[in-house]
Amino acid sequence: MRKRLARAPAYVYGVALMPRSQVFDPPFKEINRPACPKCGMPMWLAHVAPDKPGFDKRTFECPVCEHSEAVVVAYNLS
């Protein structure tokens, strides 16, 4: 197995060339983890992407059978 080296972002004049990630960390109770329709195990939240204003597209993946589903959900920032 090849080892991969992690590298820090390049800096020019003290500014990172790579954009910083934004962390979205809602309380765990707000994320409904659906059961996998194939095997019944709780699915993991694998990806969150913006949809129309006020909505997110959440992709869930099953850790057992690798089935995935995407759902669009409304969120409230207030």
pLDDT digits (tens, 9 = 90+) for 41-60: 999 999 999 999 989 999 99
- Smallest Cα–Cα separation from 59: which of 67, 50, 51, 47? 47
Q: Are 60 and 46 in contact (CB under 8 A)?
A: yes
Indicate whether 75 pLDDT > 70: yes
At 44, the amino acid letter reads: W
DSSP 3-state of 74 = strand
pLDDT tens track for 21-44: 555 555 555 667 899 999 999 999
Buried b / exposed e along 44-53 (16+ C-beta atoms within 10 A): eeeeeeeeee
- Could you give the domains of the chain? 21-74 (2.20.25)
Is residue 5 predicted with pLDDT exceeding 80?
Answer: no
pTM for the model: 0.57
